[in-house]
Amino acid sequence: MAYVFFGYFAGVIALTAVLVVALRNPVYSALALLVMFFHVAGLYITLHAEFLFAVQLMVYAGAILIFYLFAVMFLTEKTPDRYHMQSWGSLLIGGAIIVEIAVLVGQHGVSFGSTVERTALSSPSEEGNTEAIGHLLYTSYLFPFEVASLILLVAMIGAIVLSKKDLSESPPS
Amino acid sequence: MSVPIHYYLILSAFMFLTGLVGVLVRRNIIVILLCIELMLNATNINFVAFAEYLHDLGGQIFVFFTLTVAAAEVGVGLAIVVAIHRSKDTINVEEFNLLKW
């Protein structure tokens, strides 16, 4: 069973990695990279790294890729007209997702209260992945953690300075 | 019955090579940055696979530092791209010949 999951995730990752390089349109490359990020997160689940799964989805697929899509749409010169001709495919996929959400809510919406009660009663028996990572990050790896925050601060200031227009020519007021 | 570790290493090496070829052959600078993200994800898979097979969480901790570097690279890199696009009005790396003579 583990081989089936690994084969699926590895196959999709390899295919989308090739698509990122091979596709002409940068928007399609970014969307192929989005699919690859999701399947790398699935691979983290099979490797028992549940906290990294959530971090991968939030940081890579949520923040970094949106940033890339913004840059692609901001910097490419002209938008091709065929973006406006794909509404039927997106309508099909969006309709399927809406039907799926409706089915899930219809099945589990009734038993929501009992689910909350059951999870409240169960006590955490052993230390999970998130607790272990947090404990290790704040004891053994405390100094690299602080250095990482310093790197983020430097990157933030650098991005602000680089993207500010004619910083040196502005008169001191 | 778990998957042996060299399967993960082969997948990671394939992803890294794909990203490296993309950096070398593509001319759009945004796609080059996307291929760098591809290579960073390949190293992340390696870290997590070794953390699982050596039963050491240090590999998963290092993924956070890779993530930090990736986020910093995206912020500074895209700021540089926007600044270059403002001055030269292109994002093709063939036309970035400011340091050539």
Task: Compute the distance between CA of residue A148 and CA of residue B62 in angstroms, rounded to an integer.
Answer: 11
B residues 46-85 lying closer than 8 A (beta carbon) to A? 48-49, 51-52, 57-58, 60-61, 63-65, 67-76, 78-83, 85
Task: Compute the distance between CA of residue B63 and CA of residue B44 in angstroms, rounded to an integer.
Answer: 6
Q: In whole numbers, what is the pLDDT of chain B averaged over residues?
A: 90
Per residue in A3-43, pLDDT (tens digit) is 999 999 999 999 999 999 999 888 899 999 999 999 999 99
Q: For A92-115, b where at least 16 C-beta lie within 10 A, e where not — what string? A: eeeeeeeeeeeeeeeeeeeeeeee
CB contact (8 A) between residue A152 and residue B72:
yes
Domain span holding position A139: 133-163
Indicate whether A7 belongs to any domain.
Answer: yes
Closest-CA residue of A relative to B34 is A30
Average pLDDT for residues A116-142, to the nearest whole number? 73
CATH dotted code for B27-90: 1.10.287.3510
The CATH number for A40's domain is 1.20.120.1200
Asked if A68 has any chain B CB less than 8 Å from its own CB, the reply is yes
Indicate whether A122 belongs to any domain.
Answer: no
Task: Compute the distance between CA of residue B16 and CA of residue A17 in angstroms, rounded to an integer.
Answer: 9
CB contact (8 A) between residue A49 and residue B48:
yes
- The residue extents of the domains of chain B are 27-90
Indicate whether A51 belongs to any domain.
Answer: yes
Indicate whether A73 belongs to any domain.
Answer: yes
Asked if A59 has any chain B CB less than 8 Å from its own CB, the reply is yes
Provide the number of structural domains found in chain A.
2
Indicate whether A116 belongs to any domain.
Answer: no
Asked if B26 has any chain A CB less than 8 Å from its own CB, the reply is yes
Indicate whether A46 belongs to any domain.
Answer: yes
- ipTM of the shown complex: 0.91
Average pLDDT for residues A150-154, to the nearest whole number? 95
Looking at the predicted structure, is the pLDDT value of residue A122 above 50?
Answer: no
Question: Which one of A77, A105, A121 terminates a domain?
Answer: A77
Question: Which one of A29, A48, A77 terminates a domain?
Answer: A77
CB contact (8 A) between residue B51 and residue A49:
yes
Q: Please report residues of A whose CB lies closer than 8 A to that of B80.
A: 162
Average pLDDT for residues B82-95, to the nearest whole number? 83
Average pLDDT for residues B56-80, to the nearest whole number? 92
Indicate whether A156 belongs to any domain.
Answer: yes
A37-51, A54-68, A126-140, B32-46: range with lowest mean pLDDT: A126-140
Please, are residues A20 and A33 in contact by the beta-carbon 8 Å criterion? yes
What DSSP element (H or E) covers B10? helix B5-25
